[in-house]
Amino acid sequence: MSLPKLKAFLTLLMAIGAAAFFGSGGTFASFSAETTNAGSTAASGTLTMSNTVGTGSACATASAASQNNFNEACSPALTLTNLAPGTYGGAASITIQNTGSIDASALSLWAPPVNATLDAALTNGVTSGSSLTVTALEGTVTSGDSIVVSFGTHTQTFVASGSASGGATSIPITAQTANYAYPVGSIVQDTSSNTTASNTDCYDVKTTVAGTTGATKGTDLDFNPTTGNPLCAAALLYVQEQTGGFNYCWFGNSSNAPTGGCTAPISVTPSSALSTSGAITTIGVSALNGNVKKNDTIRIVSGNNTQDFTANADAYIGATSLTIVSATPNFAYPTTSTITDTTVQNTLNPDQADTISKFDTLHNGSSGKIPLYPLTANGTASTTAPVALAHSATRTFYVGVYLPGPPANNQNPLQGLSSTFGLTWHLDQ
């Protein structure tokens, strides 16, 4: 057989094979019967999520502002002001809900890279110019960094031709011809960031508003440089999940915490005045914003009155009662009194490993993503569970910051600074 005839024969065979594959096996039957299930449809499901800080409004990936199901502009988790060393700033809850129709097999958390969004559109086919106009930059850009602009499935990488400080609204770049009409709102990320404390998503600036009316602010002071983001590198961060009655410390110090909890300070008030008439074994409190471990020292202060109690049971975030070793209050502590856990604070004060900077550099988008496996008990997560967040299900996380007060350590350079940072949550099918 000649080569052309052989090719023709093989082509015919392939056609027959294909017909056989896409058709039916009935071709070669001597008898035939046939049924048709008509009108079948195959519709894709959805995998979307929402993110609610405290009792605020849900931020959805399905909203119009999102791009390719990514929403990089949800509300801040925390807004803490006027922190002093050794005092607890507080925590915020973030509830993640799978608002899609498909179960998610994985939920992850990491630090976003230095980021912003375009504040001036790029025109397709037109040279970008020597800078990108962006919203206030979260983090610091260094010359030579890769700056990725993306919108939906479109992406383009620029090279920073100079540095840009946190909060800047312009990033100097080497001009390129835009490969797409990137609109205002397109995501801008520095993929070279989050490698050292100096180029993290978390960045420091001096405060421009005083913590209390009429007081000094960061810009009044001359001993609080922002170089190296010192507050980011000192402030301790924790992320603790509390879902289905179970707790898990996903990031932060857990060296002195009840099982599954982070070493999270408390700063609460008694729900009713303490009575001096006899010994007590419980103290009703406003919802705990941290954890207490059995045997911790619980200190109550009102003016010049102070008393230490000993915790007699673990208590987690949200609890409204502390169990203590029987003791008689030495003062009728009113509901304005402050209750703290000095054991937790003393544990955290020397900690330099669980800072916001460490979170950014160890858990950035390119490495160290934290897989948030579903919880099965306090301190236990299932790494083999097929579903991390079922459709319509929620998981709740508490994010807290504590500014430690290391003993005999001058922290004046941390005065009047403000750290800004982000958290990224990611669902996979």
Partner 1 sequence: MSGRSFKTLLASLMVVGGLGCITVSGTYAVLSSQQTNTKSTVASGTLTFGDTVNTGTTCFSYGSGSTANVNGACAPLMSYSAAAENYPGVPATAKVTIVNNGSIGASDLALFMPSCTAAATPDAPSPGGGNPCAGGADMIVQETDSSGNATFCWYPDFAPGTCSWMDDTLSFFAGATDLSGALDLGSGPAAGASRYFTIGLELPSTASNTLQGQEAVFSLTWHVTN
- Binding to partner 1, residues 141-180 (CB under 8 A): none
Mask: binding to partner 1, 176-215, rule CB under 8 A, as x and -?
-------------------------------x--xxxxxx
Nearest approach in angstroms of CB 279 to partner 1 is 29
Gap between the terminal Cα atoms of the chain: 53
Member of 152, 228, 371, 413 binding partner 1 (CB under 8 A): 413
70 is a contact residue toward partner 1 (CB under 8 A): yes
What's the distance, CA 376 to chain centroid? Answer: 22
Distance CA 90, CA 78 (A): 8
Member of 88, 180, 218, 293 binding partner 1 (CB under 8 A): 218
DSSP 7: H
413: Cβ–Cβ under 8 A, 6 or more apart, which residues?
Answer: 223, 224, 225, 230
Member of 115, 150, 242, 337 binding partner 1 (CB under 8 A): 115
State which of positions 83-112 bind partner 1 (CB under 8 A). 83-87, 89, 94, 96, 100, 102, 104, 112
Q: Are 357 and 197 in contact (CB under 8 A)?
A: yes
Nearest approach in angstroms of CB 251 to partner 1 is 14
Question: Tokens 């086919």 label which residue?
Answer: 125
Member of 26, 54, 76, 125 binding partner 1 (CB under 8 A): 76
18 is a contact residue toward partner 1 (CB under 8 A): yes
Q: Are 48 and 62 in contact (CB under 8 A)?
A: yes
391 is a contact residue toward partner 1 (CB under 8 A): no
Nearest approach in angstroms of CB 194 to partner 1 is 13
23 is a contact residue toward partner 1 (CB under 8 A): no
Distances in whole angstroms, Cα of residue 75 to Cα of each of 71, 98, 424: 11, 18, 12
Distance CA 236, CA 359 (A): 9
Nearest approach in angstroms of CB 101 to partner 1 is 10
State which of positions 323-342 bind partner 1 (CB under 8 A). none
Bridge partners of 396, per DSSP, are: 95
Read off the tokens for 394. Answer: 């929620």
